[in-house]
Amino acid sequence: MIDTTYSRKEIRKEIFALILPIIMENVFQVSASLVTVAMIGRLSPLDISAQGIVMRITETLNSLFRGVAIGSTVYIAKAYGAKSMDQCFKVFKQTLISAVPMAILFGSVLFALPTQFLRILTDSSELLTVGAGYMRLTVMGLPFVAIMALVTSAFQGHSNTKTPMMIAMLVNISNIVLGYILIFGVGGIGGFGIYGAAAALTMAQAIGAITGLVLLFKGPYKVFSAEQLKEKIFHYDWKCIKDVYSTGIPAAIENFFWQFSAIIMSRAILTYGEVSFSAYQIGLQAESISGMATFGFGVAATTLSAKAIGMRDANLFRSYFKEDVWLCTVISIFTSLSLILMPGIFMSMMTNNADIQKIGIVYVFIMGFIQIPQNLSGILSKTLLASGYKNTPMIVSFVGIWLIRIPLALLVTYVLKWDVFFIWLCIALDQIARFIINICIMKRKKVLQTAVR
């Protein structure tokens, strides 16, 4: 085991080299989402709600691929830290040839049976009709979502976050331009409304996936060589796949907990009416504005922790963690204050509906108070995951979501019949509980002292 001393300046420089492109990537992603939400927000509450319920379904599947990508990132970063370049490619290839067929299968099922899945969320015939059409278009992009997630994992595992940023720029610019044209129409040609938004998203995802695959093997930032493509592509190494998925599946299940809870929460919020649900959807987007500045710290925790473990450097592992936490805390203070002090500004950016703004402002205000514990909890869980505690983040999420958030929200909605405001409080309580639990686990397991052996 290596035990080298590192200066804080060196560590901070390396962290910023990773997170700044991620922050910029999030800026573009959130900007595109805000523009899309703003465009759809000019349509009807029915269209906004249709997009929201479909997103709950598709994001459940997207979370699977993001989870698998986390497993891929961990093993690629460990191989990169150990300077085993062939192993890096092997991990990427095995994950890709196993994940994309799954995406095609799941997408086909949703395309064939959209109404059956959407009935989980709503019984409204109008909402089901609009939502089914929207879903059929969006699920065509699932294979591209899987590819983009794994391309990003390959670059991030090599400590390269600039290229994913450039791909995100391309995807989001494409989505904005195509979205405007297909939603509203141009040059005397009528738009397709909510269906145009779905088509634009799928087309942009295809552009991103193809571009990402090309950049992995060509250009100044390539991480693999063209020679490696000559190897037999569809040769499955089940041990490698098992290793990646044993880390990725718990991460995916953790994401599933969030997505399934979002489905239940969406159904509960829909009982308050489409205006309340629209406010919730737009409030989530407003909250994501502040989150884009801190999301990178979770990625840095995964990549740098795994890299330090691969290098067998205990001091580097601890230095990465401590600096990551410190920088995230400082930035979270500012993002928290922005949500608390300016909720109305955030909501007015995305909708001109006064009723939606009124409800959404309360949501954004409450979420402002949990930014610090929520963001730090992300670092703690990713550090635990990279350290080999594969199931721990999943278990913590289960406790927070299924023992706190969901039971309390259902109690508030269906038994006590309180105002929707109390559902926002249930969400906040869940995040605070998870933060406290993660701290206790880190201390009890002595992760900072035992992760690198």
The answer to whether residue 55 scores a pLDDT higher than 90 is: no
Q: Does residue 408 sit within a domain?
A: yes
Is this structure's pTM higher than 0.85? no
Q: Summarize the confidence of residues 7-27 as an average pLDDT.
A: 85
Asked if residues 80 and 88 have their Cβ atoms less than 8 Å apart, the reply is yes
The domain tally of the chain equals 1
DSSP state of 28: H
For residue 43, give the nearest of 169, 193, 151 by alpha carbon: 193
Highest mean pLDDT among 24-28, 108-112, 157-161: 108-112
Q: Express each pLDDT in 142-197 by its tens digit.
A: 999 999 999 999 999 998 999 999 998 899 899 889 988 998 888 777 778 889 98
User: Across the chain, what does the average pLDDT equal?
Assistant: 88
Question: Which residues constitute the domain of residue 76?
Answer: 8-450
Rounded Cα distance between 82 and 99, Å, is 25
Q: What pLDDT sits at residue 1? A: 52
Q: What is the pLDDT of residue 87?
A: 92
Residue 1 lies inside a defined structural domain of this protein: no
- 3-state secondary structure string across the chain: CECCCCCHHHHHHHHHHHHHHHHHHHHHHHHHHHHHHHHHHCCCHHHHHHHHHHHHHHHHHHHHHHHHHHHHHHHHHHHHHCCCHHHHHHHHHHHHHHHHHHHHHHHHHHHHCHHHHHCCCCCCHHHHHHHHHHHHHHHHHHHHHHHHHHHHHHHHHCCCCHHHHHHHHHHHHHHHHHHHHHHHEECCEECCCHHHHHHHHHHHHHHHHHHHHHHHHCCCCCCCCHHHHHCCCCCCCHHHHHHHHHHHHHHHHHHHHHHHHHHHHHHHHHCCCHHHHHHHHHHHHHHHHHHCCCHHHHHHHHHHHHHHHHHCEHHHHHHHHHHHHHHHHHHHHHHHHHHHHCHHHHHHCCCCCHHHHHHHHHHHHHHHCCHHHHHHHHHHHHHHHHCCCCCHHHHHHHHHHHHHHHHHHHHHHHHCCCCCHHHHHHHHHHHHHHHHHHHHHHHHHCHHHHCCC
Question: Does a structural domain hold residue 235?
Answer: yes
Residue 425, in any domain of the structure: yes
Residue 2 lies in a domain: no
CA distance linking residue 222 with residue 34, whole number of Å:
31
- Does position 299 have pLDDT exceeding 80, yes or no? yes
| 3, part of any domain | no
- pLDDT, tens digit, for every residue of 258-298? 777 877 888 888 888 888 888 888 888 777 766 766 778 88
What confidence score (pLDDT) does residue 290 get? Answer: 67
| Lowest model confidence (mean pLDDT) among 80-94, 102-116, 137-151, 187-201 | 187-201
For residue 310, tell me if it sits in a domain.
yes
Q: Within a domain: residue 158?
A: yes
Mean of pLDDT values over 391-416:
94
